Amino acid sequence: MTESKNAVTGLSHLNSQGEANMVDVSQKGITVREAIAEGAIQMSLATLEQIEAGDSPKGDVLGTARLAGIMAAKQTAALIPLCHPLPLSKVQVTIVPERSLPGYRLQASVKTKAETGVEMEALTAVSVAALTLYDMAKALEKSMTIQSVRLLRKTGGKSGDYEADDSV
């Protein structure tokens, strides 16, 4: 059975009894798929400056957050119940300081050649990188906020390409 929407509910992740199930993608074509997600973490300017100076009690805040994001993308199927495990060919996490926030903008780019997309992997990578950044810097400031996690772009697959509206 190919990925199709349930006739009763109109949702692809529900069976005819209304129960959650993993979509069967075995009949879908293998194509190159890529997704890019972004998020931000806001903090005081003083905290941003301490992190930038490498003055954090826990060590390399940004390097640890980047690595956590990459590792999280690879574990998405273990975290999100109905996600398919995917052979990821690329995971890149970038974390850029933004004084006007103040804080950091995070972005994850994930690529695969598979039957289903990598949107959840990119969103998971950004989310876990932001959570790790918070964890690494919470001794400096506990009032940091993680915000605006969203899918920026995706390519490949039956539903076609997507690009977020920049007005958000």
Residue numbers annotated as active site: 135
Residue 16 phi, psi dihedral angles, 5° rounding: -65, -15
Q: Which residue blocks in the chain are alpha helix, DSSP H?
A: 45-52, 61-74, 76-79, 119-137
3-state secondary structure of 87: coil
Q: Which residue has the tokens 């100076």?
A: 53
Q: Which residue has the tokens 């995070």?
A: 106
Residue 133 has a CB neighbour count (10 Å cut-off) of: 27
